[in-house]
Structure formats: structure tokens, C-alpha cells
Structure 1
Amino acid sequence: MIGLSEIEHAARRIAGHVVRTPTVPSPGLTELLGVPVTVKLELLQRTGSFKARGATAKLLALDGAERAAGVVAVSGGNHAIAVAVMAGALDVKATVVMPRSAPRRAVEVATDAGATVRLTDGMDAAFALMSELQRDGLTLVHPFDDPVVLAGQGTVGLEFAEDAEPLTDVLVSIGGGALISGVAAALRARWPRVRIWGVETEGAEAMSAALAAGGPVPVPLGSVVSTLSAPTASRLTYEHVAALVTDVLVVPDADAVRGVLDLADHAKVWAEPAAGCLVPAARRVLDRVGPDARLGLVLCGGNATTADVAALADRFGLR
């Protein structure tokens, strides 16, 4: 289990390389949900998502031989962007593997950052190619199955606890689970009674399946939210979630897209569906905990174009 000391060490390591993103009350979401809401704006992070934190922590921890070999990463979008951009900034050669369903912008940004981009037919094939390239000698920067990456993502929670008044409930999106694992470790160390809620979308339910099975299991992927679509959780992230998270909620894709529109209309921020899913989940949390809650939302990323969201809104009949 990653503790507060490892997260604090990661914070010192990545300081100056990433943004200390704003933690602010959201009057619009407070009015929409009927309870005080505070948001952590990781969509304003360098590379557009929290992923820059873990990628930077890992890249800075590599030894000379690992750096010289070059790194490989697998991603539904945001981790690829983060590794490509931060590796370029640190003069490390990067290869990123993504499924063809990944957002076009992710492919373009990673390519423009100087990374070699490899596309596959699906996320399972992407993870398989990642493992092959690692065996060929590249240094792995895993999106979630790495304690250094997890501690880096945990700096989100560390800043949240330092910059916000104590909250009763914090909602965090789950893909492979490094973000919620790190955030939960930091927040539970600072606010022992806080409840942490994970949120997945239907068809991207790796952590829900792991909790039901008592450990990580492969899951079929069918969500439009590629940035949450991990084919399995890891033992590392599963153990953190099982120990520290109150529950994991699953919302339909359409509700996640509606959440993007709600965030734009009410919170005045442009998020991606991986963050939009928190809005419908927050309503379900309030049904369970009551009206005295003080909510925190980690808005994990904003790497969706207006065209992406418009197309999804049309697909689900939301416009």
C-alpha cells in the first residue's frame, strides 16, 4: 500500500514540472446538486489531465540505462499524451501504443510531441503490443500498475486536502485505478472519515468486476469513454480500492456525456466524459448519504474536442 510519505516524496519530485491545479468551490454545481461542491480542476493540468503527474514521477525516477533504452506506454488517450509530452520535455525517447478508437487529438498530440505512435485494433491488442515492446528492451511506464505512478497521481489528493475545507465525500473516476488509489491514500491520511467513491462507465468496469471477483479479472470493453477503458485492474490498484474506497458506481455512457454538458453549463468548465460521469454519480451518492454532504469532484481531464462531444451528444440524443 502506498502511504502519505510516498505521495509527499512524489510531490517534491514533480514540483516545477506539473501544475498545482486550482481547487475551488463551484457555485454552479452547488446550485445544481443542492449541496456544497468543491472541484479539483485537473483538466487544467499540463497535457490536459492528471496523467502528467504519474508520468513525470516515473520518468524522473528512471536510471540512466532505463532512460537510454526509451520508454513505452499504453493508453486510451491521456496517458499517451502525458508520456509523449513529458518524455519529450525530459529528452527521453517514447513509444506510445493506443487503440484505433482513441481520440484523434491524443494521436495528434503524441505525434507532435515526438513520440512514436503505434495503433492497434482494440485495447487488449494495445496491452499485448506494449508487453512485446517491453520484452524488446523498452522501459515500461505503465498507466496504473506501478507504485511510482500511483504515488504521482496521489499528489492530486494531497493538494485537494491542503487547498479545500474538509469534505464528507469525494468522487473520482476509475480507469485502471491509479488516480483513485492515490487520491484515496492521500485523503484518508488527511481526512480519516472522508468517503471516497469511484465512478466507472458501463462497458469500462474493470474495478467493479475486480471487487466482485475478489481480484483483478479481464473485462469486455464497450464504453465510448476510451480513457476509462482498461481491460483489467491491477492487483496494486485493486488492493487500494478494496481497502480505501466506499463503493464504485457505474453510470451509462449517455449519462457521462450529459455530465459533460452539465459541467459546461453549470460549472463553466470543459471536461471529457471521463470527468462528466461524476455528475450523475454525485446524485446517486447524495441519495445514499443525505443532504448534509459536502462533495468534492476530481475533474480528471479535458481532452475532448467540441466535435467529439457534439458527436456523442447527437449519438445519445442529448441536443
Structure 2
Amino acid sequence: MLITARDVEAAAAQITPHVLRTPTVTSPGLTGLLGAPVTTKLELLQRTGSFKSRGATAKLLSLSDEERAAGVVAVSGGNHGIATAVMAGALGIDATVVMPRTAPRRAVETAEAAGAHVVLADTMDAAFAHVDELRTKGLTLVHPFDDPVVIAAQGTVGLELAEDAGELTDIVVSIGGGGLISGVATALKARRPGIRVWGVETEGAQAMTAALAAGAPVPVRLTSVVTTLSAPSASPLTYEHVSTLVTDVLTVTDAEAVQGTLDLAEHAKLWTEPAAGCVLPAARRILNRIGKNAKLGLIICGGNATTADVHAWAERFNLT
């Protein structure tokens, strides 16, 4: 069952004391680069460096006293783990975070510094399997995307964008498991019915593309360097939202996503991660399809990448 705009509004009222209302700003630099008006929603400035704080906070606030006392567990390629660890620490809840060994070192260190117990698994599939084991011991799962509470809270990004932005025709949103785009599309379609919402994935992290092709979520092989978008599959819940509300899901290469990170730094003065950088090459493809009369909104989902990370990726893909 799809969440509603009322669910998003209720989530906004609940999480407002705990998260930031991030800036929504026009970008002359990106407008010049793309040749069409661009507005950015700066979730990289959110508490813990990404939109993930919204969903994690809502889920943690929804727990019963017994669940809070027992603690929570999260599985993450990086940002959701950081958000769960930091927000659980702020609310006095014990947290365990399971990440694949490919997760950024900064994500591991930040989660540990917040007081969470971090477990590293060999793969993302193994991380999800270990979480299932921990749930049998009484820990409550804070899922990164397969939870209506989490999706509604991520949708507050779209709610704020609808309230704060000028005229927009098209919104571009990164997809991992699909929680962010599901919530954003719900909120925006309610407030601005004619708007188009586009998703973007990286090659080797195409859970939603595979689900749309198959007509249902299916497992995918994860090879992308963009671990923060690397979900082993979509969920029935996020698949239903995307298949109902989203115009299309595009795929870009890892190299294009990293180049987008470099372009955001140079033209928008934003230090992002490739999960956010991928919206730029996707925006170019969208403009090629619909024309330069579009007014774009780009959700800059996170900025938890170090300079060393980005330099290493740029060198790997021969980017400048």
C-alpha cells in the first residue's frame, strides 16, 4: 500500500525538532553548465551529511519503550549506518550497524564514534543476512528503505522542496533501495501534480531498474563503487511507489557519477559523493529527451565522501 501525503506531513511534524530544514537554492553555476534553470535541494547539509537522518529519526521515534530498551540494528552501505548510529546515540538507544567491507572508512569511523557497534560483512548480501540473525535476538530493524515510516520521513525532502522552490517541471533523485524517491514522489505529486520525477542509478547498482524490467523486485549483482546506492534488491513497497509515480529510471556509469561529483564541486561549490554526483549526467539525458525548457530540481542527497575518496575514484576512471 502506498504512503500518502498525509503520512509525509505527519512525519514532518514528528522529526522537525531533530533534523534540519535544508536549503533549497537556485544554482547559477549548474544552470550555465546544463543550459536550463536548476534548483538544488541541499541534503548534504543535513545532520549526519545526508537525507538518511530523516528516516532513521522517524523510525527511532516510533519505537515502544521495550524496543528502545532492547536496541536497534541497521544495515547500510554507509549513510544510513551513520544516520542510525548518530540519531540513536542522540536519543539514548543502543545501535548495531552492519556494513559491507566496501563501505567508506569514514562511515565506519563515524558510526563507531557515535557509540554504535559496527559489524563488517564480506558483501551487502551477507550484511543483510547477519541483520536477520540479530533480529532474532530482539533488536528492532531500522531498515534503509523497506519501511513506510522511513519512506514517509524521506518524503519530507520533497515536501520542503514543494514549499520552498519556484516553478519546477522535473526532479532528479538518486536511487539505492528507493526509499528517498518513493517519499519524494509521493509528496511532490500531491503538491505539484504535473511534476515529473526521474530516478537515477549507477551501473552495478541497478536494483530498481531490474525490478521494473521484471515486474517485481529481484536480486541484483552489486559491482558499483557507489556503495551508498548499492541495495541488493528493491522492496515490494519501493517498487510499487516507483512504478506508480516515477516517470523513468536512468542508469549512469560509475565514471559519470564521479565526474558529476567533480562538476558539482567546480560549478556549484558543493562537495558531494557520487551518489549525488550521478544526478548531473542523468539531468543531461533528461534535457536531451524533453528539451531545454525544463526547470530542473536536483536533490543533492549526501556529501559523505573524503577528498581522498574522490581523488582515488577520479584517478581510477582517468578523470580530471
Q: How far apart are residue 16 of structure 1 and its match?
A: 1.4
Q: How does 1:88-127 map to 2 (within 5 A)?
A: 88-127=89-128
Q: Distance in 2 between matches of 1:173 and 1:69?
A: 33
For 1:34 and 1:106, the matched residues in 2 are separated by 35
Per-residue deviation, residues 50-97 of structure 1 (Å, max 9, x unmatched): 000000000001110111110000000000000000000000000000
| 1:266 aligns to 2:267 (yes or no) | yes
Q: Which amino acid aligns with 2:107?
A: A
Q: Distance in 1 between matches of 2:149 and 2:70?
A: 19
Match of 1:304 in 2: 305
Aligned partner of residue 200 in structure 1, secondary structure: strand
Check whether the contact 1:144–1:237 (CA below 8 A) recurs between aligned residues. yes
Alpha-carbon distance in 2 for matches of 1:241, 1:131: 26
Provide the rounded CA distance (Å) in 2 between the counterparts of 1:145 and 1:166.
31
Deviation (angstroms), 1:135: 1.5
Q: Which residue of 1 aligns with 2:32?
A: 31
User: Alignment partner of 1:291: what SS?
Assistant: coil
State the Cα distance separating 1:165 from its structure 2 match: 1.1
Partner residue in 2 for 1:72: 73
Q: CA RMSD in A?
A: 0.4
Partner of 1:59: 60
Counterpart of 2:8 in structure 1 is 7
Q: Deviations over 1:7-44 (max 9, x none)?
A: 00000000110000000000000000000000000000
What is aligned with 2:199?
Answer: 198
SS of match in other structure, 1:40: strand
Q: Secondary structure at the match of 2:31?
A: helix
Q: Normalising by structure 2, report the TM-score.
A: 0.99
Return the offset for 1:178: 0.2
Paired with 1:210 and 1:132, the residues of 2 have a C-alpha distance of 26
Q: TM-score, normalised by structure 1?
A: 1.00
- Is the Cα–Cα contact under 8 Å of residues 166 and 191 in structure 1 kept in the other structure? no
Same amino acid, percent of matched pairs? 73
1:291 deviation in Å? 1.2
Q: 1:291 is matched with which residue?
A: 292
Question: 3-state DSSP class of the match of 2:107?
Answer: helix
Look up the SS of the partner of 1:232 in the other structure.
coil
Q: CA–CA distance in 2 between the matches of 1:100 and 1:2?
A: 33
1:248 partner SS: strand
Deviation at 1:123, TM superposition (A): 0.3
Q: Which whole-Å CA distance do the structure 2 matches of 1:151 and 1:140 have between them? A: 17
Which residue does 1:133 correspond to in 2? 134
Work out the CA distance in 2 between the residues paired with 1:23 and 1:37: 11
| Residue 251 (structure 2) pairs with residue 250 (structure 1) | yes
Aligned counterparts of 1:116 and 1:268: Cα–Cα separation in 2: 35
Give the unaligned 5+ runs of structure 1: none
SS of 1:175's partner is coil
Deviation >6 Å, runs of 4+: none
State whether residues 39 and 296 of structure 1, in contact with CA within 8 Å, keep that contact through their aligned partners in structure 2.
Answer: yes
Residue deviations 1:190-232 (CA, integer Å, cap 9, x gap): 1101000000000000000000000100000000000000000
| Residue pair 1:251, 1:281 contacting (<8 A) in 2 also | yes
Q: Which amino acid aligns with 1:146?
A: D
Aligned mates of 1:64, 1:84 — CA distance in 2: 18
- State the secondary structure of the residue aligned to 2:172: strand
In structure 1, distance between residues paired with 2:75 and 2:314: 28
Q: Distance in 2 between matches of 1:131 and 1:145?
A: 14
Q: Where does the alignment leave 5 or more consecutive residues of structure 2 unmatched?
A: none
Instruction: Please give the residue correspondences for 1:109-258 in structure 2 after superposition, counting only pairs within 5 Å.
Output: 109-258=110-259
What one-letter code is carried by the residue in structure 1 that aligns with 2:191?
Answer: R
CA distance, structure 1, for counterparts of residue 28 and residue 293 of structure 2: 16
Mapped partners of 2:74, 2:147: distance in 1: 12
AA of the residue aligned to 1:220: R
Q: Distance in 2 between matches of 1:280 and 1:310?
A: 19
C-alpha separation in 1, matches of 2:50 and 2:101: 20
Cα distance in 2, alignment partners of residues 270 and 195 from structure 1: 26
